[in-house]
């Protein structure tokens, strides 16, 4: 009879127990394993723990999509539509629940109307954000009709298998130039280190994600800002389509020039954003809470000013 | 006027195949919480998860409008696939950046911020256990465990979502459970919390790093 036990312990290994639990063992091997389990309290307990683990995993509840996330999503999607040059009218804005917009866009002979009555915030705030995309996609279709080739498609959306995307950045970003309009039109999008980036972080500019624990002292914060500006890897990640998911009104509300860097990290143990602006001969490093609103921009966690990196 | 909330799943699929944006909106309404859960559990970071949901739904929306959604798969299967793909794209892009215990704290912070009930503290602590333990799994095992064991999708459907054989899904789940067992098994949880944090802080999660092996020995047996 085949020995299914771990030679080191004389018992079923966790892998073997998990295979037995999942029904992956060959019938003869499974029979041997079951015979052992029936006579071994410890291995029986191991199988019971596996069953309990499955129950615990099933019971784990991360909760619904948080309203704050849905709101930021609305803002980001609405902003994307605006950047694409076909912003939804105020009546069609997701911020005007219950409004109705009809665009009469046609595709394949099917006439559609955009009726937002079923996309009511806050319960449907995410869906409402997608309604705003109707304007964006309508705009893309118009561009495509003029030979711009707006929709490159996505393996993810069109049924490609997981991991099949040859260009993950493009796929995740929507795969169209207009879909990335905000990052293409500004932000940390130029080549080279961040100090050489175009000095404009648009409303939905890519975020760097260094994970830095921002210093509480002004001098140290400035040193961190300068170091982050020199990091090529952050610039590359941002160009590849880093997170764009912050409230644009937050960064826009900061006084001074457009940021050259918006980075995600932590401050005093909490999630935070570092916004770096370049002035004539100097830098302004501002730490804001994350999530961040326009009101937060008026009450930064830390601000440091200093000279440009040499 | 069509009340999309009343549409059956097949009718909703048919409407999406026709490029009906409101039908897609209803599909999003029905499944967005599930998609959020998948993204959050797979990525472990609320910001990343929110981006992934947005990316996936944007791609799906474009596919519907372009007539590229053929209705071959159930809506839930298709939407899970686009969001999982968006998650995996993000994981690949951040592979060089290790997840730290600090990052796990961030998960708890964000969850605590978003849930204002009285049980936030203990609930967040349990979530840390789960989130940190999931982060130790190789990505393929993590996704399989999330979809099968946590989301409750049938193995057959997950195989379609991930484009692999059902047996592969079962195997990934079994391997994943074996790794999770010493981290999350109720009888061992109390004594492993600190160890879990320590091991989590040193282990890159998105690069297929191997978690601690299943506990062996130390289990008395009468036979």
DSSP calls for B194-223: HHHHHHHHTS-STT----PPPP-S------
Q: Which residues pair with A303 in a beta bridge?
A: A286
Under the banding of pLDDT at 50, 70 and 90, the label for residue A286 is very high
B184 and A69 within 8 Å at the Cβ level: the answer is no
User: B91 and B206 in contact (C-beta within 8 Å)?
Assistant: yes
Q: Write out the E strands in B87-216.
A: none
Give the model's pLDDT for residue A31: 94
Is the preceding omega at residue A49 within 30 degrees of 0, hence cis?
no
Give the model's pLDDT for residue A201: 37
Q: What is the ipTM of this complex?
A: 0.72
Give the model's pLDDT for residue A37: 94
Read off the pLDDT of each residue in B153-175 and give the average, rounded to a whole number.
96
Minimal Cα–Cα distance from A244 to chain B, Å?
A: 7
Q: Is A143 helix (H, G, I), strand (E, B) or coil?
A: helix
Q: How far is CA B34 from the centre of its chain?
A: 9
Q: When comparing pLDDT for A266 and B83, which is higher?
A: B83
Alpha carbon separation from A222 to A188, A276, A307 (Å, rounded): 19, 9, 9
Under the banding of pLDDT at 50, 70 and 90, the label for residue A292 is confident
Q: How far apart are the first and last CA of chain B?
A: 71
- Distance in angstroms (rounded) separating the CA atoms of residues A57 and B131: 11
Q: When comparing pLDDT for A238 and A43, which is higher?
A: A43
Give the model's pLDDT for residue B3: 83
pLDDT at A250 over 60: yes
Under the banding of pLDDT at 50, 70 and 90, the label for residue B107 is very low
Read off the pLDDT of each residue in B155-173 and give the average, rounded to a whole number.
96
H helix runs in chain A, sequence order? 14-22, 27-39, 41-59, 67-83, 125-145, 168-172, 181-185, 218-229, 232-239, 248-252, 294-297
Give the model's pLDDT for residue A135: 36
Which token pair is A131?
Answer: 């309604």
Alpha carbon separation from A33 to A3, A10, A39, A53, B179 (Å, rounded): 8, 12, 10, 20, 20
pTM of the predicted model, to two decimals? 0.52
Q: Chain A, 181-200: which have a CB under 8 Å from a chain B CB?
A: none
For the four alpha carbons of A169, A174, A177 and A179, in that order, the dihedral sign comes to negative
A165 close contact with B: CB closer than 8 A: yes
pLDDT at B28 over 80: yes
Give the model's pLDDT for residue B146: 97
Buried b (16+ CB within 10 A) or exposed e, A69-91: bbbbbbbbbbbbbbbbebbbeee
B221 and A72 within 8 Å at the Cβ level: the answer is no
Read off the pLDDT of each residue in A264-293 and give the average, rounded to a whole number.
83
pLDDT at A157 over 50: no
Give the model's pLDDT for residue A61: 85
Q: When comparing pLDDT for B87 and A252, which is higher?
A: B87
A15 and B214 within 8 Å at the Cβ level: the answer is yes
Give the model's pLDDT for residue B88: 93
Give the model's pLDDT for residue A177: 30
B100 and A211 within 8 Å at the Cβ level: the answer is yes
Residues from chain B contacting residue A76 (CB–CB below 8 Å): 54
Mutate to test the interface with A, among B34, B122, B142, B219 (most CBs of A within 10 A): B219
How many beta-carbon pairs below 8 A join chains A and B? 290
pLDDT at A258 over 60: yes
Residues from chain B contacting residue A268 (CB–CB below 8 Å): none
Give the model's pLDDT for residue A27: 94
pLDDT at B166 over 90: yes
Q: When comparing pLDDT for B58 and B202, which is higher?
A: B58
Average pLDDT over chain B, rounded to an integer: 74
Read off the pLDDT of each residue in B108-115 and give the average, rounded to a whole number.
43
Give the model's pLDDT for residue A247: 57
pLDDT at B8 over 70: yes
Minimal Cα–Cα distance from A262 to chain B, Å?
A: 14
In sequence order, which residues have a C-beta less than 8 Å from that of residue B64 and are 6 or more positions away? B16, B19, B20, B21, B24
pLDDT tens per residue across span A193-232: 333 333 333 434 456 777 788 888 888 888 888 888 877 6
Average pLDDT over chain A, rounded to an integer: 61
């Amino acid at each position: 009879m085949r020995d299914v036990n771990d030679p080191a312990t004389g018992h079923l290994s966790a892998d073997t127990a998990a295979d037995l639990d999942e029904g992956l063992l060959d019938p003869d091997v499974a029979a041997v394993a079951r015979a052992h389990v029936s006579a071994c309290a410890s291995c029986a307990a191991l199988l019971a723990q596996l069953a309990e683990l499955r129950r615990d995993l099933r019971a784990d509840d991360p909760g619904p999509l948080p309203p704050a996330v849905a709101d930021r999503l609305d803002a980001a999607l609405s902003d994307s539509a605006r950047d694409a040059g076909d912003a939804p009218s105020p009546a069609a804005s997701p911020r005007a629940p219950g409004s109705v917009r009809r665009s009469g866009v046609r595709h394949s002979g099917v006439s559609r109307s955009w009726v937002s009555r079923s996309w009511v915030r806050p319960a449907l705030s995410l869906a409402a954000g997608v309604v705003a995309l109707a304007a964006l996609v309508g705009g893309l279709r118009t561009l495509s009709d003029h030979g711009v080739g707006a929709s490159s498609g996505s393996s993810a959306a069109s049924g490609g298998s997981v991991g099949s995307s040859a260009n993950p950045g493009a796929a995740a970003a929507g795969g169209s130039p207009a879909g990335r309009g905000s990052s293409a039109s500004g932000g940390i999008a130029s080549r080279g280190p961040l100090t050489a980036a175009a000095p404009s972080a648009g409303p939905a500019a890519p975020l760097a994600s260094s994970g830095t624990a921002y210093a509480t002292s002004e001098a140290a914060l400035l040193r961190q800002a300068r170091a982050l500006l020199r990091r090529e890897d952050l610039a590359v990640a941002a160009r590849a389509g880093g997170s764009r998911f912050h409230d644009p009104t937050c960064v826009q509300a900061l006084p001074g020039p457009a940021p050259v860097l918006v980075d995600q990290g932590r401050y005093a143990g909490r999630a935070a954003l570092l916004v770096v602006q370049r002035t004539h001969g100097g830098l302004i490093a501002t730490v804001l809470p994350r999530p961040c609103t326009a009101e937060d921009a008026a009450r930064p966690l830390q601000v440091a000013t200093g000279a440009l990196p040499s | 006027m069509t009340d999309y909330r009343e549409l059956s799943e097949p009718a909703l699929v048919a409407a999406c195949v026709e490029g009906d944006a409101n039908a897609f909106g209803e599909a999003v309404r029905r499944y967005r919480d599930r998609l959020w859960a998948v993204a959050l559990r797979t990525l472990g970071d609320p910001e990343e998860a929110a981006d992934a949901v947005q990316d996936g739904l944007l791609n799906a929306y474009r596919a519907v409008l372009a007539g590229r959604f053929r209705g071959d798969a159930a809506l839930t299967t298709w939407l899970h696939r686009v969001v999982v793909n968006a998650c995996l794209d993000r994981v690949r892009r951040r592979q060089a950046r290790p997840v730290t215990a600090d990052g796990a704290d961030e998960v708890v912070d964000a969850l605590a911020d978003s849930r204002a009930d009285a049980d936030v503290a203990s609930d967040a602590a349990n979530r840390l256990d789960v989130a940190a333990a999931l982060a130790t799994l190789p990505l393929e095992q993590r996704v399989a465990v999330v979809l099968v064991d946590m989301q409750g999708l049938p193995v057959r459907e997950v195989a379609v979502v991930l484009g692999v054989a059902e047996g592969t899904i079962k195997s990934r789940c079994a391997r994943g459970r074996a790794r999770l067992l010493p981290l999350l098994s109720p009888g061992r949880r109390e004594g492993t919390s600190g160890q879990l944090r320590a091991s989590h802080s040193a282990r890159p999660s998105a690069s297929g790093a191997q978690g601690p092996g299943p506990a062996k020995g130390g289990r008395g047996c009468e036979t």
